[in-house]
Structure 1
Amino acid sequence: MAHEGGRARFHRLRVAAVDRLTDDSVALTLAVPPELREAYRFAPGQHLALRRTVDGAEIRRTYSICSTAPAHEAPSSLRVGVRLVDDGAFSTYAHKEIAAGDELEVMTPAGRFTLDPCPAADTAATDTDAATGSAPTPAPTPVSGHYAAVVGGSGITPVLSIAGTLLERAPDARFCLIRSDRSTASTMFLEEVADLKDRYPDRFQLVTVLSREEQQAGLASGRLDEERLTALLPALLPMERVAGWYLCGPYGLVQSAERALRALGVRRERVHEEIFHVDDGGPTRDRGAAPAPAHSTVTAQLDGRSGSWAVEDGESLLEAVLRNRPDAPYACKGGVCGTCRAFLVSGSVRMDRNFALEAEETEAGYVLACQSHPTTEKVELDFDR
């Protein structure tokens, strides 16, 4: 993935198609012009932030890329799924107003909920990296073995890209998709998932659970809770041979799946999570931190330039930086997407929520600027690391 200056940036992309998936979801196909294709090269599982301005207020929302990552060339198009949210400022716009031919402001790909390692294409790397002019990155280790995902609702979107890319590039790999939806009519990307099953009948396993509709065959309806998953997963898969688990969807489902995997002895480093929906009252992951000081200052390194600014009472570090550097990276401001990830150089912070960073990242010193509040008089962040 190549970003100008090493960081995600917005460009205007033309909408090539708007496809209705269900009554409350659409897929947007975005055309990428040749001069921007390297900037939009993506890893399977990454997302795009879309931006619009309404009555002087900027609205950003993140949507995962569902396309299979091209094996050789940078992408000429990108496809994202958008589910309608009650009173959603952007999703309502996407469903009612966006049409083919429109232009949208689209951030270059971001996110770390990715296929790791991503199997290399079957041709040699080019002599140099087109975006940086540097020597090419060595090809990732070939991927084989079992991979699996537990998804709910629109959580299928990034996993569709992960599964499609893995199966296309790694002929020895297998993928098991366990998906939960309310009903058949509400299930996104039915045709695309069916196509994977048709193309890879021996290597792609699909298990569907509907919470509000009985199926003629397959599993009984109902929610996929921890108890059910703990019993189901070993019956479907050789647990010890699954190299990577991808959990994506609403907070409750992801947490249930995580607890089930922990109970089944799966190592933490094999589990990757992305939360799509978190209620405002959702739990925090940083409790017991020191209270905020009376006065505090944040110093931020961003695109090679540094500045120091006062943090106003109740303000997050991201908000303080944005007042002075509007180009600071962010998308959701909800602790979910990870776009505002920064390295904590000095000082200490309290994070209200963290649904984006892995434990290894927080242990290494990374924080979400949108959720971080200072607990020392001086805090220094580095957005460039």
Structure 2
Amino acid sequence: MLWTKKALFFKDMPEGYRKNEKILFAGVDFSGIQGFIYQNDSMESLNEITRRSEYIQQLSVKINEELTGILKEYLYTPITVSSGKIQAILKNNKDAARVFESHLKNIQEIVFLEYQGRIQIFYGVTYAWIRNKNSGRYNSAFPALMNVIEKNKYQSTNLYELDSESSGYSRYSICSLLPEKEYENSIGFDSIKLAAVKMDFDNLGNLFSSIMEADVKANISEKIIEIIDKAVSGIKNLHLIYAGGDDIFFICPFSCILEVIQTVYLNIKRRIYEEQELANYKDDFGISCGICLFHRDVPMIHYLDNAETELLKSKDRGKNQITVENLSLSWSEWKKLNEIMDRCNHTLDSKKREEFLRFKFRHFLQVLAQNACDIKDRDYIRQLLTRVQQEVDYD
């Protein structure tokens, strides 16, 4: 480890530490998470995908708990513990660094063998100074930590030479950490047409870049995760695949796409505005959303990639909007469509509802415009379709 003029800034000094103290800054980073979670290619594997997503978080928690125990005398203090990422400080002591690296090397090998390299764990330790304000003479220690973790990746190529035999029941395996269970929010596979929905918070990077203190950043990250978890919990017809960091990915039936997405958005927005810790984010708050409509027999990779593509279109077209089949709508427009659909539901017979589900989203809106009860609703949808089509043609 090379000495460096890097620092971690804290609003409140961690217990047992003093300002201007030289410390060790340690980190753990998972690699291959996406490929590990989405390794199956069928709708029937949705529960397993959700289970693997939860496993990443549980494995992160377990590793952190073990480090807390074996490094207690060195005042191991975690800053961030999220899905696939751990960052912590500990006393500047050679034995502390040795114990940390030895334990992670063991975990690295076990997990590599357990999953034959589909998911890997890398780690690193660097020096830093702990400070409560920036004097201008120090830079953030986070890039330095990322560099040593990246170096560990290159040093770990010999993992492929390890004995490939694995019991499948190590203390870090998915079977040990996360027994199989029934998922309460699973959607029925009898839903022929489904929607894959990806959501991403807008402008969070601006908020984090304005904050120097590591503890404040960590608290905000934890609060965002908590908000997402509460926002999607208990929503009928929503099958959550992944919720971590500022990303959300779920599947719902096409028949209730307007209501489900609107509910998730409003739940998040309300909680953002209620949190005092996020007061500086309220003016910049936004959520970009991408949707891919698909039939249940479509390979999973198709709707994963297409939902991401639609999400990027929402970002490129100004953020804080929803894009589906190349049509981008604002959240207020989505809310209006949901209200119109709700009014129509009381007048449509079951046959007409089934007809709705045969169409792509654009055609769905056209049919909705023809069947809306109020002439103002019909005109609104027609004008909306004209506007979004003009924008698509302009692009």
TM exceeding 0.5: no
**TM-score category (smaller protein):** under 0.3
Greater fraction of residues in helix: 2
Give the TM-score normalised by the residue count of structure 2.
Answer: 0.23
Larger radius of gyration: 2
Give the TM-score normalised by the residue count of structure 1.
Answer: 0.23
Does 1 or 2 have the higher relative contact order (CA < 8 Å, sep 6+)? 2
